[in-house]
Amino acid sequence: MVLAVLLIHAVLLPILFYGMIRVVRTAQEEVFVDHVRIYSRVFADLLQTSDTLMTDDEVIAHLDSTILGGRCVHAALKLDDRRLHSTVMDSDDEEDFVEDFHFGEHDDGVYYLSVPVFFGESMAVLELGFDEEPTALEIETARTTIRNIVLSYLLVSVIFAILMSNVLSKPLRRLRGDSRLIASGDYARQISTNSTIFEIAELSRDIEHMRSTLVGVNARLEAEIVSREKAESERRKVERHLRHAHRLQSIGTLAGGVAHEINNVLLPILLYTDLALEDLPKDSPVRPNLERVVRLAKRAKGLSEQILTFGRQSGDAMIIVPDLAPLVDEAMSMVRALIPASIEIALDIERPVGPVLCNPNEVQQLVVNLCSNAYKSLLKGAGRVRITLENCCVSAKTAENFTRLQAGECVRLSVSDDGEGMDPATMERMFDPFFTTREVGQGTGLGLSVVHGIVVSHGGEVVVSSEVGVGTSIDIYLPRVDDQEHGSERRLKI
Ligand SMILES: Nc1ncnc2c1ncn2[C@@H]1O[C@H](COP(=O)(O)OP(=O)(O)OP(=O)(O)O)[C@@H](O)[C@H]1O
Ligand SMILES: [Mg+2]
């Protein structure tokens, strides 16, 4: 803006300056020329008023008075071959007299002009010269004054332009700063310029409107992204659970079929071996071998029963058990026989806990399998296993993390240890049938898969948390049933 003002003034002010100077000079010069010409004519008329010819002294006296009374510097009268001139003049150099038509024409500082004077029949020529210097000085003074006025005007204009551009650009600069901050991600910044300039205030309002619209759109998009991400992670979780459930189901079906067939073979083996033992004399050397066959066949039968339990083909009925505490007590007495005395068992059992629709044998199997794993994780054969049984309530928020269990009243059985813990790879596969990290002959890898099968068949959930070197905690949630259903017997289909 300042530059534009400077450019406009650079073009206009010289034109204005020279135009004004020209007008003043022309006016001054014309006034000078008019004055001297009128003065000369009046003076000439004064000389020729008398009817008789003036004497030379009278003429000279008139010429002197002309010089003494005004700006006249040269006064002479040419009459025939005579030349009379004012005595006030320093000299009368006839050569100097060069008649002027315009002001300052011959650059000699004097405006010369001649006027005819008639004395009766004869004519004389009055030669007068006027000093141009005062008029030239006046023109110069006017020039200086005009120049000063123009320069002052230029200065005031530039200062005004600077002030105006500042007033105009300040809200615009603030608007630009705010816009940049918003563009760089500070969406919460509000735009308010408080400008008195209508257009800027309007612009600011429009940008603020756009910002608030964009913020709304942005918030909606962010919320949508978050909800989509949540839905996606939920979908992946469900997918993982489904894959796992499918894998377990197919293995369970296969294992159940195999166990059934093995059972079919084992039963006649046991039967015929028993018959053979009955027929054998007590001291027969074959007897110990046959007894070994019976033992091994029974062990194989135990294994196939575990496999059947995992495959949910045990066929046992479920009943509503009003209190799980006695069941767990009974299971713990078996566990105590299993676990070395160096291991501390801490029991925290609420009474009563339930009622729960369950298969009592399977619930006891849960306790035994979990405790067996817990004590096996205590590498040095010492440590603590903690068993907790309590009623609890699963909130809707917690239920979101479970695929089977619904929000509501539950029973929680927790078995925790401060043993070796599990790494993520082991945790990923721990429920797989026949997955074990134990040495050959030390574990079948069926313990947790049986636990999983039982819990699933009861409509419950298993939650495992474990850290290597810290320990493991396995929580089993089983849904509680209505008290009115006590004593009834029913099957739960999963
Ligand atoms: N409390 C625990 N602490 C550490 N690791 C455990 C625990 N429970 C289970 N595991 C790991 O999970 C694997 C599978 O356990 P699972 O009970 O299915 O089989 P197993 O204990 O190896 O064999 P079995 O139960 O027939 O004795 C175990 O080999 C072990 O690596
Ligand atoms: Mg086990």
Cross-strand bridge partners of residue 118: 123
Domain boundary, last residue among 152, 167, 183:
152
Q: Look at residue 34 in the predicted model and tell me its pLDDT.
A: 93
Domain boundary, last residue among 117, 136, 152:
152
Kindly state whether residue 227 falls inside one of the protein's structural domains.
Answer: no
Angle 110-114-115 from CA coordinates, rounded to 5°: 135
Q: Among 309, 365, 376, say which to mutate for ligand 1: greatest number of ligand atoms within 8 Å of CB.
A: 376
Bridge-based pairing state of the strands 343-349 and 318-321: unpaired
Kindly state whether residue 294 falls inside one of the protein's structural domains.
Answer: no
Kindly state whether residue 200 falls inside one of the protein's structural domains.
Answer: no
Tally of structural domains, the chain? 2
Q: Look at residue 387 in the predicted model and tell me its pLDDT.
A: 96
Kindly state whether residue 415 falls inside one of the protein's structural domains.
Answer: yes
Q: Read off the tokens for 424.
A: 């993520």
What angle, 0 to 180 degrees and rounded to 10, lies between the N-to-C axes of helices 447-457 and 360-377?
A: 140
Contact in structure between 168 and 197 (CB atoms under 8 Å): yes
Kindly state whether residue 266 falls inside one of the protein's structural domains.
Answer: no
Domain boundary, last residue among 152, 187, 219:
152
Cross-strand bridge partners of residue 319: 358, 489
Residue-range definition of the domain harbouring residue 404? 316-490
Reply yes or no: is the peptide bond before residue 360 cis, omega within 30 of 0. Answer: no
Kindly state whether residue 276 falls inside one of the protein's structural domains.
Answer: no
How many CB atoms are closer than 10 A to CB 30?
Answer: 12
437 lines ligand 1 (CB under 6 A): yes
Chain centroid to CA 301: 67
Q: Read off the tokens for 239.
A: 């997918």
* Residue minimizing CA distance to atom 31 of ligand 1: 437
302 lines ligand 1 (CB under 6 A): no
Reply yes or no: is the peptide bond before residue 355 cis, omega within 30 of 0. Answer: yes
Q: What are residue 408's phi and psi, to 5 degrees?
A: 145, -165
Q: Look at residue 195 in the predicted model and tell me its pLDDT.
A: 76
User: How far is 117 from 405, CA to CA, in rounded Å?
Assistant: 141
Q: Residue 391 Cα, ligand 2 centroid: separation in angstroms? A: 26
Q: Read off the tokens for 37.
A: 């010409």
Sign of CA dihedral 23, 26, 29, 30: negative
Q: Read off the tokens for 475.
A: 């929580």
307 lines ligand 1 (CB under 6 A): no
% of the chain at pLDDT higher than 70: 93
3-state secondary structure string across the chain: CHHHHHHHHHHHHHHHHHHHHHHHHHHHHHHHHHHHHHHHHHHHHHHCCCCCCCCHHHHHHHHHHHHHHCCEEEEEEEECCEEEECCCCCCCCHHHCCCCCCCCCCCCCEEEEEEEEEECCEEEEEEEEEECHHHHHHHHHHHHHHHHHHHHHHHHHHHHHHHHHHHHHHHHHHHHHHHHHHHCCCCCCCCCCCCCCHHHHHHHHHHHHHHHHHHHHHHHHHHHHHHHHHHHHHHHHHHHHHHHHHHHHHHHHHHHHHHHHHHHHHHHHHHHHHHHHHHCCCCCCCHHHHHHHHHHHHHHHHHHHHHHHHCCCCCCCEEEECCCHHHHHHHHHHHHHHCCCCEEEEEEECCCCCCEEECHHHHHHHHHHHHHHHHHHCCCCCEEEEEEEEEEEECHHHHCCCCCCCCEEEEEEEEEECCCCCCHHHHHHCCCCCCCCCCCCCCCCCHHHHHHHHHHHCCCEEEEEEECCCEEEEEEEEEECCHHHCCCEECCCC
Kindly state whether residue 103 falls inside one of the protein's structural domains.
Answer: yes
Q: Residue 369 Cα, ligand 2 centroid: separation in angstroms? A: 6
User: How far is 353 from 387, CA to CA, in rounded Å?
Assistant: 14
Question: In the chain, which stretches have pLDDT less than 70?
Answer: 50-53, 90-92, 245-246, 248-249, 309-316, 483-494
Q: Residue 243 Cα, ligand 1 centroid: separation in angstroms? A: 21
Residue 127's alpha-carbon distances to 89, 221, 225, in angstroms, are 13, 103, 108
Q: Residue 448 Cα, ligand 1 centroid: separation in angstroms? A: 7
Q: Look at residue 310 in the predicted model and tell me its pLDDT.
A: 64
> What is the model's pTM?
0.49
Residue 384's alpha-carbon distances to 57, 340, 377, 380, 413, in angstroms, are 157, 11, 10, 11, 17
How many CB atoms are closer than 10 A to CB 392?
Answer: 15
Kindly state whether residue 454 falls inside one of the protein's structural domains.
Answer: yes
- Ligand closest in space to the Cα of 438: 1
- Ligand closest in space to the Cα of 439: 1
Angle 6-10-12 from CA coordinates, rounded to 5°: 115
Q: Residue 428 Cα, ligand 2 centroid: separation in angstroms? A: 15
Which CATH number do you get for residue 428? 3.30.565.10
Buried b (16+ CB within 10 A) or exposed e, 75-87: bbbbbeeeebbbe
- Ligand closest in space to the Cα of 372: 2
User: How far is 362 from 317, CA to CA, in rounded Å?
Assistant: 11
Q: Among 386, 429, 430, say which to mutate for ligand 1: greatest number of ligand atoms within 8 Å of CB.
A: 430
